[in-house]
């Protein structure tokens, strides 16, 4: 068992917003429990409390880090069962939910970010596949093309997960993918916009874990989703408004014509 590797937090925000760098360590808490310490270094603005959800090999734990000043640090402990099956490299997938300590004018929008730590249990193992994905724009739904390629010229079967922050979800929780020994395979993962703010940049974490072989081998990558701004409603209503205006003018003309027609067609009264 080794210490946790440095973790990259997929995030983007304004300079005044909190921005966390994630690292950690691991120790035994009894014979059957792993104690994972998650350290947060805040390189952005003052943060309120950080709610943390962690997952390791299908097991979950939660913790809260108290408010962290700009330039400060904070830590929390997550506990998981020690028995994860095969030896090898495992991801500790994290979701961090937080908000600035002082709400800006107009109110604070709670932020949510994904992060990860890599934990070596029993043996070290290099990644079996390489993951890449482009940045994509998102209105309400978009297909994220994830490319997988073997790193050791051997075929692998992997479990692929695409994880967004709160309010940005993959339509499928996971995909099992056969990666050939040579060449590439592309999996299109649907992403759905929920509560993430329009006009924001959101980090997406991709994790691939091998299902074959004696060692667990993990690959990770991050990409960015550009959430499009709220579409302008006046241009989309321009044509309907013009048609409604023409219809009103036509209706007014018909009413006026019906009003004048009896007066023009009525017989003249005889002279006395």
**What is the residue extent of each domain of the chain?**
1-121, 125-233
pLDDT at residue 220 greater than cutoff 90: yes
Give the tokens for residue 63. Answer: 């913790």
Q: What confidence score (pLDDT) does residue 261 get?
A: 63
For the domain spanning 1-121, the CATH number is: 2.60.40.10
Does the structure show a pLDDT above 80 at 1?
Answer: no
Q: Taking a C-beta distance cutoff of 8 angstroms, is the pair 97, 110 a contact?
A: yes
Contact 127, 218 (CB under 8 A): yes
pLDDT above 90: residue 187: yes
C-alpha to C-alpha distance for 142 and 182, rounded to whole angstroms: 28
**pLDDT score recorded for residue 50:** 96
> What are the pLDDT digits (tens) for 247-259?
777 777 777 667 6
Distance in angstroms (rounded) separating the CA atoms of residues 159 and 27: 27
Q: What is the pLDDT of residue 31?
A: 87
Please say whether the beta carbons of 182 and 158 come within 8 A. Answer: no
Q: Is the pLDDT of residue 10 over 50?
A: no
Lowest mean pLDDT among 2-16, 41-55, 189-203, 210-224: 2-16
Tell me the pLDDT of the chain averaged across its residues.
87
Q: Name the least confident of 13-27, 143-157, 235-249.
A: 235-249
Q: How confident is the model at residue 152 (pLDDT cuts 50, 70, 90)?
A: very high
CA angle 105, 109, 113 (to 5 degrees): 145
Q: CA torsion sign, 183 to 159 to 122 to 10?
A: positive
Specify which of 109-118, 226-235, 241-250 reaches the highest per-range mean pLDDT.
109-118
Which whole number is the average pLDDT over 97-119? 81
Lateral strand order in the sheet of 156-163? 136-138, 218-227, 201-210, 156-163, 175-179
- Band (pLDDT 50/70/90 cuts) for residue 180 is very high
Please tell me which residue, 180 or 6, carries the higher pLDDT value.
180
Q: What global pTM score does this model have?
A: 0.80
Instruction: Tell me whether the CATH fold assigned to 1-121 matches the one assigned to 125-233.
Output: yes
CATH superfamily of 125-233: Immunoglobulins (2.60.40.10)
């Amino acid at each position: 068992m080794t210490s946790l590797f440095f973790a990259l937090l997929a995030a983007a925000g304004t300079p005044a917003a909190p921005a966390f760098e994630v690292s950690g360590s691991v120790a035994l808490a009894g014979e059957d429990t792993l104690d994972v310490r998650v350290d947060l270094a805040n390189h952005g603005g003052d943060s309120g409390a950080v709610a943390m959800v962690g997952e390791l090999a299908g097991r979950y734990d939660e913790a809260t880090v108290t408010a962290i000043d700009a330039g400060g640090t904070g830590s929390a402990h997550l506990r998981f069962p020690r028995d994860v099956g095969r030896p090898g490299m495992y991801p500790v997938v994290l979701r961090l939910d937080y908000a600035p300590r002082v709400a800006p004018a107009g109110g604070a929008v709670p932020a949510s970010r994904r992060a990860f730590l890599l934990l070596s249990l029993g043996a070290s193992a290099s990644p079996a596949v390489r993951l890449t994905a482009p940045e994509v724009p998102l209105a309400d739904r978009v297909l994220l093309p994830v490319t997988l390629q073997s790193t050791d010229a051997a075929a692998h079967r992997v479990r692929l997960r695409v994880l967004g922050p709160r309010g940005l979800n993959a339509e499928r929780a996971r995909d099992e993918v056969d990666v050939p020994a040579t060449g590439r395979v592309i999996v299109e993962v649907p992403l759905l916009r929920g509560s993430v703010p329009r006009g924001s940049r959101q980090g997406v974490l991709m994790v691939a874990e091998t299902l074959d072989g004696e060692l667990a081998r993990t690959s990770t990558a991050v990409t960015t989703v550009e959430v499009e701004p709220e579409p302008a409603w006046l241009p989309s209503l321009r044509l309907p408004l013009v048609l409604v205006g023409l219809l009103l003018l036509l209706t007014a003309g018909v009413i006026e014509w019906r009003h004048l027609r009896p007066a023009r067609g009525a017989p003249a009264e005889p002279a006395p």
